[in-house]
Amino acid sequence: MQAIFLLLVLLIFGWPLALLGLILYPIVWLLLLPFRIVGIAVEGALELVWVLVTLPARLLRAIF
């Protein structure tokens, strides 16, 4: 709701900028999509490394 309100305000005060934003937003979103996918993959790999590093400590804690 806030985004629509801000867009309407921008349309009133600076309609060329608002139209440019409406046109460029999906293009920028598509351009940034591969970076999000890489970020998810890197986060998963780092989480796997962290689990492997902390596995011996967790196993020792479970035994005692």
Question: How many beta carbons lie within 10 A of that of residue 18, not counting itself?
Answer: 17
Does the pTM surpass 0.85? The reply is no
| Nearest in space to 21 (alpha carbons), one of 42, 1, 3 | 3
Q: What is the mean pLDDT of each run of 10 residues along the chain (64 residues)?
A: 82 82 90 96 97 92 82
Residues in CB range of 10: below 8 A, 6 or more apart:
17, 18, 21
Residue 33: half-sphere exposure toward Cβ, Cα within 13 Å = 7
3-state secondary structure of 14: coil
Tokens 């962290």, residue located: 50
What is the per-residue pLDDT for 33? 96
